[in-house]
Amino acid sequence: MMTSEQIYREGAYKGVAMGIYLSIASLFMLAGNGTVLSLVALAMLIGVPFFQHRLMLAAYKKHRCATGFAGLWLLGIVVFIGASLICAAATYAYLAYINPNFIDNLLLQTAELYRQSPELQQTDFFRGLSIAIENGLTFSAADFCIEMILLTIFSGSILSILLALLIKNQRVKQY
C-alpha cells in the first residue's frame, strides 16, 4: 500500500510535469490571440486527461499497484494542486509583466462584439460588462490566477476520480 508520504511525494513530482504542461498550454492560449498557438493550446488541453492518466498509472506501477481507489484519487488531486500553482505563477507573470493590458483588452473586445448586435446589446451580460468597464471594476491578473487555481484543482479532482476508477479496473502489468 502506498503510504501518505509516497502519495504526496509522487504527486509533487508528477505535479511539476503537469504544471509545466499546463503552463505551456496557458501561455500559448494567452499569446496566441487567435493564431495557430491557440489551436496548439486547445490540443494540449484536450490531451490533459491522457497525460494525467499516464502520470497516475506510472506512479501506480512504480509502487507495484499497491494502493486503493482513494490513494489514486488523492494522488491525482495532489498532482493538480502542484500543477495549478505552477501554471498560475507562469500565467501571472505573463499577465502582470509581459502583457498587463490583456484582460482589459479582452473585455473591451467582448463589449465591442456585443455592441455590434442589437439583440446582444439587450442582454444583462452586456449591461453588466459595460458598467464594469466604465467604472474600472475589471479584475486583476491576481484575481484571474486565483480563479484559475480553484478551477484547475476542482476539475482535476473530478478528472482524477474517473482516472482512478479506470486505473483500478484495468489490467496493469507491473514492472
Statement: residue 102 has pLDDT above 70: yes
Contacts 24+ apart (CB under 8 A), 20-28: 20/86, 21/48, 21/51, 21/83, 22/48, 22/83, 22/84, 22/86, 22/87, 22/152, 23/86, 23/87, 23/89, 23/90, 23/91, 26/87, 26/90, 26/91, 26/94, 26/148, 27/90, 27/91, 27/94
Indicate the average pLDDT of the chain. 93
**Section 17-34 average pLDDT:** 92
**Can you give the pLDDT at residue 58?**
94
**Section 102-113 average pLDDT:** 91
